[in-house]
Amino acid sequence: MARAAPTTAFGQAVIGPPGSGKTTYCLGMSEFLRAMGRRVAVVNLDPANEGLPYECAVDVSELVGLGDVMDALRLGPNGGLLYCMEYLEANLDWLRAKLDPLRGHYFLFDCPGQVELCTHHGALRSIFSQMAQWDLRLTAVHLVDSHYCTDPAKFISVLCTSLATMLHVELPHVNLLSKMDLIEHYGKLAFNLDYYTEVLDLSYLLDHLASDPFFRHYRQLNEKLVQLIEDYSLVSFIPLNIQDKESIQRVLQAVDKANGYCFGVQEQRSLEAMMSAAMGADFHFSSTLGIQEKYLAPSDQSVEQETMKL
């Protein structure tokens, strides 16, 4: 009997530096998706991830364990993790055998936090590329802790890292500023939040750094970094509060748009009921236009209206 053609699957590759909230995001997003009616499978690709708070459908620790690798090869945690990813890359048949029975599920891949895996090391990119060959359409969801916004120098470095990640991973990409519910505890922002999410004129950051005697000596270097970021014009962020359903819904809308996922009528009704319960009975999720009217700035709405007239 001929083997049935595999159906297209969709999902998210959740990446970002350690402590950015990837595992918490996978827990919150999986609960949100299940409430909408999606069948979700969370896949842990981080062999250093212990005490997982979510129900794990596939765990890479069953294939290779970080502790065993460190003991056997006398490697540190970073070197051991790179070896684990290379080992997974060399044994993708194991991963495919685990994923194939889960066809029909929406996948959340909880990835390791080592930055080099997403900026220049080839193993994770190769794994994502092979998944694409299996007709698995992923969006890279890159989490960055929002507290970096309070320090202009750190924010420039975050922009450079985000840009390098976007270019290296080679997936549809959504950048998130995580832990927005805690941003008030990190200190006062030099500019309003839109400045950081939309990555507006970065020359203001340079002027802000010029007031610091240390960074004054590195102005030319910072100017070149800012010029590189603005020349590519790729980096922007969506603020995320994982405790807020409205915030999660905005992120999911961007992710679904990036990888081409289209949800059905039943899921739409579940989302409408869930958001109505969270925001009050006056909330209506009747059309994409309604979402645009809610979240677009007034100037953007006027442009949208003129487009609709045409």
The most confident of the ranges 146-155, 231-240, 274-283 is 231-240
Domain residue spans of the chain = 9-186+236-262
pTM of the model: 0.83
Provide the H-helix boundaries in the chain: 22-36, 66-73, 77-90, 92-99, 116-119, 123-133, 152-169, 183-186, 193-197, 203-210, 213-216, 219-232, 245-259, 265-279, 288-295, 298-309
Task: Please give the residue that has the higher pLDDT: either 241 or 216.
Answer: 241
Mean pLDDT across the chain, nearest whole number?
85
**Amino acid at residue number 235:** V
Q: How confident is the model at residue 209 (pLDDT cuts 50, 70, 90)?
A: confident
Using the predicted structure, report yes or no on whether residue 193 has a pLDDT greater than 70: yes
Q: Select the more confidently predicted residue: 22 or 150.
A: 22
Query: Quick one: pLDDT at residue 279?
Result: 61
Residue with tokens 């895996």: 117
Q: Residue 264's pLDDT band (boundaries 50, 70, 90)?
A: low
Q: 186-195: long-range contacts (C-beta < 8 A, 24 or more apart)?
A: 186/146, 186/147, 186/149, 186/150, 187/147, 187/150, 188/150, 189/149, 189/150, 190/150, 190/152, 193/149, 193/239
Q: Identify the band that residue 6 occupies on the pLDDT scale cut at 50, 70 and 90.
A: low
Q: Has residue 249 got a pLDDT over 50?
A: yes
State the fold for domain 9-186+236-262.
Rossmann fold (3.40.50)
Mean pLDDT of 153-182: 93
pLDDT of 138 above 70: yes
* The one-letter amino acid at 185: H
Backbone angles phi, psi at 126, to 5 degrees: -65, -40
| Closest among 153, 138, 127 to 226, alpha carbons compared | 153
Sorting pLDDT into bands at 50, 70 and 90, what band is 132?
Answer: very high
- Res. 212 pLDDT band, cuts 50 70 90: confident
The distance in angstroms from the start CA to the end CA of the chain is 53
With b meaning 16 or more CB within 10 Å and e meaning fewer, what string describes 121-150?
bebbbbbbeebeeeebbbbbbbbbbbbbbb
